[in-house]
Amino acid sequence: MNSDIVSVRVTRLTYISLAMSVFCLLIGILVLCGWAYQIEAPTNVLPGAATMKVNTALSIILLSLACIGLQPGILQRKWIPYGVLVCAGVVGILSLISLLEYLVHWNSGIDAFLVRLITRRDDPSQAIRMSSGSAVSLLLLSCAIILLKFGSGINKTVSQLLAVLASIVPLIALLGYLYDIQPIQQLTAIATLAIHSSLTMVLLCFGLLLAQSDQGPMKILISENLGGVMARRLLPFILLVPVFIGWLRSWEQQGGYFDNLLGAIMMVVAFMLSFVVILWITAHSLNRLDQARKQAEAKVSTNEARFAGIVESAMDAIISADETQSIVLFNHSAETMFEYSAQEVLGKPISILMPTRFHAIHDQHVHLFSQAGETTREMGDLGKIRGLRKSGVEFPIEASISQIEVQGRKLYTVIMRDITERNRTEAALRQSEEHFRVLFEGVGVGNVECEAGTGRYLMVNRKMEEITGYTADELTAMSFFQITHPDDVADNRQRYEIFIQEKSSNFAVEKRYIRKDGSPIWVNVTSTLLCDANGNPWRTIAVVQDISERKRMEATQQESERRFRELAESLPQFIWTCTHDGLCDYLSPQWITYTGIPAREQLGLGWLNQLHPDDQEPTLTHWNTASAQGTSYNTQFRIRSVDGTYRWFRTCAVPLFDEKNRIRKWFGSNTDIEDLKRAEQNIQQLNIELENRVIERTEELAKANRELEAFAYSVSHDLRAPLRAIDGFSRILLEDYGQELSAEATEYLTLVRHNTQQMGRLIDDLLNLSRINRQSLTKRLIAPYTIVQDVLSELEYERVNRTVEILIDELPECFADPALLKQVYVNLLANALKFTRNSKQAVIQVGYRPASPPESPVPVFFVKDNGAGFDMKYSHKLFHVFQRLHRAEDYEGTGVGLAIVHRIVQRHGGQIWAESELNQGTSFYFTLEGRGSEQ
Could you please report the per-residue DSSP string of 115-171?
HHHHHSS---SGGGSPPHHHHHHHHHHHHHHHHHHH--THHHHHHHHHHHHHTHHHH
Q: What is the pLDDT averaged over residues 628-644?
A: 84
For residue 231, what pLDDT band results from cuts at 50, 70 and 90? Answer: low
pTM above 0.75, yes or no: no
User: Contact 163/202 with Cβ under 8 angstroms?
Assistant: no
Cβ–Cβ < 8 Å for 358, 395: no
* Assigned domain for 766 exists: yes
- Please give the residue that has the higher pLDDT: either 178 or 689: 689
- The alpha-carbon radius of gyration of the chain (Å, integer) is 62
Q: What's the confidence (pLDDT) of residue 176?
A: 72
Q: Where residue 742 falls among pLDDT bands split at 50, 70, 90?
A: confident
Rounded CA-CA distance 679/685 in Å is: 10
Q: Highest mean pLDDT range out of 239-243, 533-537, 760-764?
A: 533-537
> Residue 606 has what DSSP assignment?
G
> Which residues, in sequence order, are CB contacts of 541 under 8 Å at separation 6+?
447, 448, 449, 527, 528, 530
- Residues 587, 484, single domain; the answer is no
Out of 181-190, 415-424, 477-486, 754-763, which region has the weakest mean confidence (pLDDT)? 181-190
Q: Average pLDDT, whole number, for the chain?
A: 76
> What is the b/e burial string over 497-515, where b = at least 16 CB atoms within 10 angstroms of the residue's CB?
eebbeeeeeebebebbbbe
- Residue 862 pLDDT: 93
Q: Are 475 and 449 in contact (CB under 8 A)?
A: no
pLDDT of 733 over the 60 cut: yes
Indicate the residue among 531, 546, 561 that finishes a domain: 546
Is residue 170 reached through a cis peptide bond, with omega within 30 degrees of 0 on the bond before it? no
Identify the bridge partners of residue 545 per DSSP, sorted by sequence position. Answer: 524
What's the pLDDT score for residue 497? 86
- Distant-in-sequence contacts of 262-269, Cβ < 8 A, 24+ apart: none
Same domain, 391 and 529: no
More confident residue, 124 or 623: 623
From the list 804, 808, 807, 786, the residue with the least C-alpha distance to 796 is 804
Instruction: Identify the residue with better confidence: 925 or 826.
Output: 925
Instruction: Round to whole Å and give the CA distance between 665 and 231.
Output: 92
SS3 587: strand
The alpha carbon of residue 596 and the mean position of all alpha carbons in its chain are separated, in whole angstroms, by 65
Residue 423 lies in a domain: no
Are 797 and 843 in a shared domain?
yes
From the list 525, 526, 523, the residue with the least C-alpha distance to 548 is 523
- pLDDT over threshold 80, residue 652: yes
Average pLDDT over residues 290-297: 69
| Mean pLDDT of all residues in 533-543 | 86
Instruction: Compute CA distances 751 → 657, 725, 728, 744, 888, whole Å.
Output: 86, 15, 13, 11, 14
* Sequential DSSP letters for 452-488: TTT-BEEEE-HHHHHHHS--HHHHTTSBGGGGB-HHH
Q: Does 215 lie in the same domain as 128? A: yes
Residue 610 DSSP label: G
Tell whether 694 is covered by a domain: no
Q: What is the C-alpha separation between 633 and 875, in angstroms, rounded?
A: 48
Please report which confidence band the pLDDT of residue 270 belongs to, taking 50, 70 and 90 as the band edges: low
Which residues, in sequence order, are CB contacts of 257 under 8 Å at separation 6+? 263
Average pLDDT over residues 505-522: 88
- What is the sign, positive or negative, of the torsion defined by CA atoms of 866, 871, 877, 882? negative
* pLDDT at res. 132: 75
User: Which one is predicted more confidently, 369 or 914?
Assistant: 914
Taking the CB of residue 867, how many other CB atoms lie within 10 A of it?
24
Question: What pLDDT, on a 0 to 100 scale, did the predictor assign at position 925?
Answer: 92
Residue 784 sits in the same domain as residue 912 = yes
Instruction: Give the mean pLDDT of 108-135.
Output: 63
- Give SS3 for 710: helix
Structural domain containing residue 755:
700-774
Write 100-103 long-range contacts (CB < 8 A, 24+).
Answer: 101/129, 102/132, 102/135
Pick the residue with more confidence: 917 or 238? 917
Are residues 284 and 323 located together in one domain of the fold?
no
Yes or no: say if 148 and 139 are a contact pair by the CB < 8 Å rule: no
Higher-confidence residue of 315 and 592: namely 592
- The arithmetic mean of pLDDT across residues 231-252, rounded, is 63
How many separate domains does the chain show? 7
The β-bridge relationship of strands 814-816 and 780-782 is antiparallel
Q: Looking at the DSSP assignment, which residues form a beta bridge with residue 398?
A: 417
Q: Are residues 195 and 336 in the same domain?
A: no
Confidence (pLDDT) at 243: 64
Helix axes 743-774, 674-737, angle to 10 degrees: 150
Most confident of 305-319, 648-662, 755-769, 847-861: 648-662
Q: Are residues 297 and 344 in the same domain?
A: no
Most confident of the ranges 178-182, 567-571, 841-845: 841-845
Length of the chain in terms of residues written: 935
Give, in order, the Cα–Cα distances in Å from 586 to each of 105, 565, 580: 133, 10, 13
Kindly report the CATH number assigned to the domain that includes residue 920.
3.30.565.10
Residue 179 has pLDDT above 70, yes or no: no
CATH of the domain at 470: 3.30.450.20
- One DSSP character per residue, 543-577 reads EEEE-HHHHHHHHHHHHHHHHHHHHHHHSSSEEEE
pLDDT value of position 140: 84
Rounded (10°) CA dihedral 746, 751, 752, 754:
130
**When comparing pLDDT for 155 and 833, which is higher?**
833
Residue 836 DSSP one-character state: T
Q: Quick count: other Cβ atoms within 10 Å of Cβ 767?
A: 17
SS3 331: coil
In a domain, 677, yes or no: no
Among 489, 513, 546, the domain boundary falls at: 546
Provide the b/e sequence for 570-591 (b: ≥16 CB within 10 Å): eeebbbbbbebebebebbbebb
Residue 838 has pLDDT above 90, yes or no: no
Give the pLDDT score at 775.
63
CB-based burial label for 900 (10 Å; 0-12, 13-18, 19+): buried
Antiparallel, parallel or unpaired: β 842-849 and 804-808: parallel
The larger pLDDT score, comparing residue 325 to residue 443, is at 325
Q: Is the pLDDT confidence value at 514 over 80?
A: yes
What is the percent of the chain where pLDDT is above 70?
Answer: 67
Q: Which residue has the higher pLDDT, 249 or 680?
A: 680
Element (H, E) at 541: strand 537-546
What is the per-residue pLDDT for 567?
Answer: 63
The three-state (H, E, C) secondary structure of 64-127, written as one string: HHHHHHCCCCHHHCCCHHHHHHHHHHHHHHHHHHHHHHHHHCCCCCHHHHHHHHHHCCCCCCHH
Work out the average pLDDT over 744-760.
66
pLDDT at 379 (0 to 100): 44
* Whether residues 915 and 872 fall in one domain: yes
Tell whether 109 and 147 lie within a shared domain: yes
Q: Which residues contact 532 (CB under 8 A, 6 or more apart)?
A: 538
Q: Indicate whether 564 and 654 sit together in one domain.
A: yes
Of 756, 774, 792, which residue sits at a domain end? 774
| Domain annotation covers residue 695 | no
Please report which confidence band the pLDDT of residue 183 belongs to, taking 50, 70 and 90 as the band edges: very low
C-beta neighbour count of 39 within 10 angstroms: 13
Q: What is the mean pLDDT of residues 737-741?
A: 72
Which one has a higher pLDDT value, 250 or 318?
A: 318
Q: Is the pLDDT of residue 470 over 90?
A: yes
Q: How far is CA 465 from the centre of its chain?
A: 60
Least confident of 16-20, 297-301, 757-761: 757-761
Q: Classify residue 8: in a domain, yes or no.
A: yes
142: pLDDT confidence band, cut at 50, 70 and 90?
confident
Which of 489, 521, 522, 495 is CA-nearest to residue 508?
Answer: 495
289 lies in some domain: yes
pLDDT at 554 over 70: yes
Contacts of 517 (CB under 8 A, 6+ apart): 469
The string of pLDDT tens digits covering residues 702-727 is 676 666 566 666 666 666 666 666 76
As a three-state string, the secondary structure of 433-450 is HHHHHHHHHHCCCEEEEE
Q: How confident is the model at residue 375 (pLDDT cuts 50, 70, 90)?
A: low
Residue 876 has pLDDT above 60, yes or no: yes
Q: Contact 890/843 with Cβ under 8 angstroms?
A: no
SS3 call for 35: helix
| pLDDT level of residue 487 (50, 70, 90 thresholds) | very high
Predicted confidence band of residue 278 (pLDDT cuts 50, 70, 90):
low
- Are residues 165 and 201 both part of a single domain? yes
Sign of CA dihedral 570, 575, 579, 583: positive
Q: Are 665 and 577 in contact (CB under 8 A)?
A: yes
Q: Edge-to-edge strands of the sheet including 921-927?
A: 804-808, 842-849, 860-865, 921-927, 912-917
Query: Does some domain include residue 764?
Result: yes
